[in-house]
Amino acid sequence: MSLDLNDLLHDWPHEPGLIKVRKILGSDGREKLQLRIDLGLIQMEAIGRPDGIEPHDCESLLEYHQQRALKAGKKEQAFTLTSEEINELQQEGVQYYHRYISLFQISDYLGVIRDTHRNLEMFEFVAKHAPNEELAWSVEQFTPYVRMMNTRAKATIAIERADFAEAVKLIEKGMEKIRAFYAECSNAEMESQSPELGFLSEWLEEVRKKQPVTKLEKMQREMDTAVATEAYERAAELRDAIRQHLQNQK
């Protein structure tokens, strides 16, 4: 059997600027994800740790260290991660990053939510147990991006249900959490220059425009137009109709 990967990749060429992903069925009968990159491809497990390894008989290194921290806590012992352990957790997080980017590309938004939530959990764990702020920040700094992807996945599910009001709430909530992160960092400049907040803000306006106009909103807009065009009699009629509508809702 040839070991030349070109035989495998010939019919699936890399295209600069495009994220190309496909699902396959592995020889073990389990689904795999393949991400095409310029020099070949990355293959990942669809569930569990992306590389399929179970470190220390755990699903991930994060789970392993969480168990260690729990045991230390029960014994009222201090628990601190070493710089090497933090680096290993960060590298493991990169695996999940590759997978949730791939899952987003194939519209598996529940999978994106699962993996982004997992990485956010890892960031918080490292921040809590890192020996110093510098090591904690080496991981925490990616929080806004992962939070944005988590928000995109949740809101997209709502949009696919045509629930634009829910999508707006989810985007606003995601933005609030990113702002809270920057507030904790006491870095207003980072917030003002955040590409994640910039993207979500623009998307929020797009989604708001897709929301169906309620009867009340329609009357209020028509009344504003009537006032602007000095159609005061019509404006008064609409004002009374709005008052009656609000009264009926009580």
Is 234:198 a contact under the CB 8 Å cutoff? no
Residue range 115-152, pLDDT digits in tens = 999 999 999 999 999 999 999 999 999 999 999 999 99
- Regarding whether 152 and 181 lie in a shared domain, the answer is yes
Q: Are residues 156 and 182 in the same domain?
A: yes
Task: Establish if 41 belongs to a structural domain.
Answer: no
What would the pLDDT profile of 187-222 be if each residue is shown by its tens digit?
Answer: 778 888 999 999 999 999 999 888 767 787 788 888
Q: How confident is the model at residue 11 (pLDDT cuts 50, 70, 90)?
A: confident
Residues 182 and 227 in one domain: no
Q: What is the pLDDT of residue 250?
A: 67
The pLDDT of residue 43: 95
- The pTM is what? 0.83
Residue from 99, 112, 192 nearest 151 by CA: 112
Is 20 inside any structural domain?
no
Greater model confidence, 98 or 247: 98
Residue with token string 């602007």: 228
Q: Where are the alpha helices (DSSP H) in 75-214?
A: 83-105, 109-129, 133-140, 143-160, 164-185, 188-192, 195-210
pLDDT tens-digit series, residues 70-92: 999 999 999 999 999 999 999 99
Q: Is 122 inside a domain boundary?
A: no
Same domain? For 184 and 245 the reply is no
Residue 5: the pLDDT is 79
Mean pLDDT of all residues in 4-26: 88
Q: Are residues 226 and 202 in the same domain?
A: no
Greatest C-alpha distance within the chain: 86
- Reduce the DSSP state of residue 10 to 3 states and report it: coil
Domain that holds residue 175: 142-212
Query: Are 148 and 197 in the same domain?
Result: yes
| b/e code 63-79 from CB counts within 10 Å (16+ = b) | bbbbeebeeeeeeeeee
Residues 228 and 207 occupy one common structural domain: no
Summarize pLDDT for 139-188 with one digit per residue, the tens: 999 999 999 999 999 999 999 999 998 999 999 999 999 999 999 988 77
In a domain, 236, yes or no: yes
Whether 198 and 231 share a structural domain: no
> Within a domain: residue 180?
yes
114 exposed, middle or buried (CB, 10 Å; 0-12, 13-18, 19+)? middle
In a domain, residue 39? The reply is no
**Band of pLDDT at residue 112, cut at 50, 70 and 90:** very high
Residue 196 belongs to a domain: yes
* pLDDT, position 1: 59
Is residue 112 situated within a structural domain?
A: no
Least confident range of 2-11, 51-60, 115-124: 2-11
For residue 188, the model assigns a pLDDT of: 76
- Checking if the pLDDT of 246 tops 90, the result is no
Q: Encoding tokens for residue 201?
A: 């803000």
Query: Mean of the per-residue pLDDT values for the chain?
Result: 92
